[in-house]
A and B are shown apart, each in its own frame.
Chain A
Amino acid sequence: MSCIVRWHSLLAHAMRSAALLALLALPVGAQELFVRARTLHTMAGPIIADGVVHVRDGVIAKVGHRSQIAIPSGARVLDAAEVTPGLIDAHSVVGLAGWLNVPHDQDQVERSAPMQPELRAIDAFHSREPLVGWVRSLGVTTLHTGHAPLALISGQTMIVKTRGRTAEEDSLRELAMIAGCLGDDARGEGGKGPGTRAKRVALLRQELLGAQAYLAAREKDPSKPRELKKEALALLLRRERPLLLTAHRANDILNALRLAQEFSLEIVLDGASEIAQVLPQVRAAGCGVILHPTMMRHRGETESASLETAALLHREGIRFALQSGYESYVPKTRVVLWEAAMAAAYGLPREAALAAITSDAARLLRIEARVGSLEVGKDADLALFDGDPFETTSHVIGVVIDGELVSEVVR
């Protein structure tokens, strides 16, 4: 793990240098913005008191103490008590799931078959969905969103900014992960899907074996017809994309790890209410965890959920991020800022809670070269607050994406 982190930071460093070089050749009429913060959380070093972020042409040109950054007179300046990187929601269904909650705006699950890995998120993401605007106004600038944990394999996920342009323009990664679910929500009804846990795993194994055979056959004879479903699963078998597996109960988590081992898959654990009971196994597997929303309802297969699990994962050095998750009713989406706040209230150190929705989330989603921290060369995505970002009584007072002020509403 640690060597991976080091490699990533080297990479980031190289990118920074490249960005600096690029800045030497400034285009005429560059779009500049200065954001001043009494408390600046760069998430790439200590908190800077009286910090300034200098934004040029949508990327971060400079970050530092106000004494280090000269602001030309007449420059556009935004002021805030606290500034963080734009928030990253590590797992959502917003944009596929809409606020009306009627069939025409619910595209997060397709129930005609239990496994449909070929369903692309980008074909379903509605960038102008009001829920996208709602989370944007509360500081969320990047969403990992897609098919919901409501089928054995529900489809693909994508990573997208919340600017509200087209899915193509806002997309950071059109295919991020393939989403699967081992829990109760994958239970099929009326013989349409797996009725038991063992059947779920059996179906998945059979499908992966089929994809293995497909890969071998295509290698031998490239003229064999393409099959979208098997192509998608091949991405998992070649470890080109992770399998996002929702598992709450300890035995479901172990099922996920067993599957990953058998097919040598990279998995990201999702939900994981009972992870405390299987920490050694999860640690040995080395997989990342996108922990359930802190305020998720505790019932059924999540009946053992604890408000202190995030703090536990932090203490134990397990790589994790926080999410808004999937909601079927009200609220139609949670807000990851508030889920992190509640984790902070229950023992997760404040900066670790912030990392779980910024830098750590970016690393887990492998988008840390672009977003998740305020460093030179990264996208100028920022969230501005009038106080402690986690305090319920604080407000988000501005949101910047790619250097553009996309939300000024005080919320």
Chain B
Amino acid sequence: MLSFPRPLGAALLALVAPLASAQERPIAWLGAHLIPVSAPEIPDGAIVFHRGRIAALGARGAIAIPADAEVRELGGRVVMPGLVCTHSHIGGAAGADESSPIQPDVRVADAIDVRSSGFPKARAGGLTLVNVMPGSGHLLSGQTIYLKLRRGRTLEELLVRDENGRAMGGIKMANGTNSRGNPPFPGTRAKSAALVREEFVRAQDYRAKLDAAAAGNGDAPARDLRLEALVEVLRGQRVVHHHTHRHDDILTVLRLAEEFGFRVVLHHVSDGALAAREIAAAKAPCSLIVIDSPGGKQEALGMRLDTGAVLEQHGVLVAFHTDDGITDSRWFLRAAALGARGGMSRAGALKSATLAGAEMLDLGARTGSLEVGKDADFCVLSGDPLSVYSRVLETWVEGQKVFDLADPEDRLYAVGGPGASQGETYVSCCEGVTR
């Protein structure tokens, strides 16, 4: 996909290959209330993980505990998959600049401060996997990056690599009002779509030349970073994460996705209930934001609490996201609970904060549920995940504890106080932007 080459030095290699080096001794948790998400809940469960992966899980007594395991009694605490946020702006991430409305060459990964307090706060919320995105003030604001929230000090330590060793991420697009402005930005919805189509047509030509060259017909075209990224989109190697609110904007996204054959996840989807049939027919997954009141901008007037429920009933894959700083990662589970308040099933609400998001990031086979062989990504809760009174006690990524409420430093990020949000800046797509 994209060129974040694996570092060659052995020391660096160790840093990016935590699965191989970490957690030499198996860990067994007994007496946990397990919520696998992909299977029924297990009230008095046991789970074993080793070398960063889940080795076994089941009812207590039903699975073998390795003799050398570090055994811990959980006393009924809830263990569920680490939470997955499909849409976040932590780390002060900013992508494209004001020079043009479409900038596929820009990588948000080149702009993330992994030491900012947004990261420990996200871990405190139980998050283990996030899609960090540039904003929505552009038709296409750049490449997104998927990060595991390992306790790393560099971005490289947090990257998620595919089977070819390449850092995974999508591309961020937007329509509606955020991405409009004075030229070269589009002034209308139709112009927005025209600009996007023009760019994709160019990418189709570029792909044709690449394919021809690969087949031995002519020279490969000169490298073009903008078109390269779009070719990845056309080839389905890079998912489009598309900000869209109004029902007609949603349909525009589906129309473009069909025309150019790109894979899309719809984001925010305020009017999703009004376009549920079309979304279901297009098999487009939806990642929803839940905010506490409708409005704030005209395209979000239709925000309602039952959007998740309506989409679920139509068979659409539904996730929630924080859009952090719009909502805070520390209370991400509240979004799922509001989904349940709006009528989603309990199973659907829990999936919407975990496995559904992982699937939208093409990582459903690796994380998002408690299954043997999957990454040991967990959050440990004091009570039911949909209860406001439950607290995230611990967060684990690939068998390593990355947050512990009992640790005073971690606790500061969990509840706030002096130093907890120092230097935090708020990067929104377009708050206060007047082009």
Chain A interface residues toward B at CB < 8 A: 98-102, 130-131, 134-135, 274, 276-277, 295, 297-300, 302-308, 327-335, 338, 341-342, 344-346, 390-395, 411
Q: Summarize B's interface: helix, strand, loop or mixed.
A: loop
- Closest chain-A Cβ to B307's Cβ sits at a distance in Å of 13
**Residues in B neighbouring A341, C-beta threshold 8 A:** 388
The answer to whether B341 touches A331 (Cβ under 8 A) is: no
Question: Known interface pairs A131-B293, A304-B417, A330-B297. Does A391 touch B388 (Cβ–Cβ under 8 Å)?
Answer: yes
Q: Which 10 A-B pairs have the closest CB atoms?
A: A99-B295, A330-B296, A392-B337, A306-B416, A332-B296, A298-B421, A303-B421, A331-B292, A331-B291, A299-B424
The answer to whether A99 touches B431 (Cβ under 8 A) is: no
**Residues in A neighbouring B388, C-beta threshold 8 A:** 341-342, 344-345, 390-392
**Residues in A neighbouring B417, C-beta threshold 8 A:** 276, 304, 306, 308
The answer to whether B424 touches A307 (Cβ under 8 A) is: no
Q: Summarize A's interface: helix, strand, loop or mixed.
A: loop
Question: Known interface pairs A100-B301, A329-B431, A330-B297. Does A298 touch B420 (Cβ–Cβ under 8 Å)?
Answer: yes
User: Can you list, as one digit per residue, whether each of B300-335 has a CB less than 8 Å from chain A (1) or not (0)?
Assistant: 110001000000000000000000011110010010
In whole angstroms, how far apart are the Cα atoms of A337 and B426 in the complex? 25
Question: Known interface pairs A392-B341, A395-B341. Does A333 touch B292 (Cβ–Cβ under 8 Å)?
Answer: yes
Which one of B292, B300, B419, B426 lies within 8 Å of A304 (CB-CB)?
B419
In whole angstroms, how far apart are the Cα atoms of A352 and B306 in the complex? 30
In whole angstroms, how far apart are the Cα atoms of A130 and B425 in the complex? 31
Question: Known interface pairs A333-B293, A346-B415. Does A392 touch B298 (Cβ–Cβ under 8 Å)?
Answer: no
Most chain B beta-carbon contacts within 10 A, residue among A299, A328, A329? A329
The answer to whether B293 touches A99 (Cβ under 8 A) is: yes
The answer to whether A303 touches B420 (Cβ under 8 A) is: yes
B294 in the interface (beta carbon within 8 A): yes
The answer to whether B424 touches A329 (Cβ under 8 A) is: no
The answer to whether B300 touches A345 (Cβ under 8 A) is: no
Which one of B293, B297, B391, B420 lies within 8 Å of A134 (CB-CB)?
B293
The answer to whether B337 touches A393 (Cβ under 8 A) is: yes
B155 in the interface (beta carbon within 8 A): no
In whole angstroms, how far apart are the Cα atoms of A408 and B342 in the complex? 16
Question: Known interface pairs A99-B294, A130-B295. Does A303 touch B424 (Cβ–Cβ under 8 Å)?
Answer: yes
In whole angstroms, how far apart are the Cα atoms of A54 and B8 in the complex? 77
In whole angstroms, how far apart are the Cα atoms of A274 and B422 in the complex? 13
- Closest chain-B Cβ to A41's Cβ sits at a distance in Å of 17
Question: Known interface pairs A130-B295, A392-B334, A392-B388. Does A330 touch B424 (Cβ–Cβ under 8 Å)?
Answer: no
B387 in the interface (beta carbon within 8 A): yes
Can you offer 27 A-B residue contacts whose CB atoms are under 8 A?
A98-B295, A99-B296, A100-B295, A130-B294, A131-B293, A134-B293, A277-B418, A295-B292, A295-B328, A297-B426, A298-B424, A299-B426, A300-B426, A303-B420, A303-B422, A306-B420, A328-B431, A330-B296, A330-B326, A331-B296, A341-B388, A390-B389, A391-B389, A392-B334, A392-B388, A393-B340, A393-B341
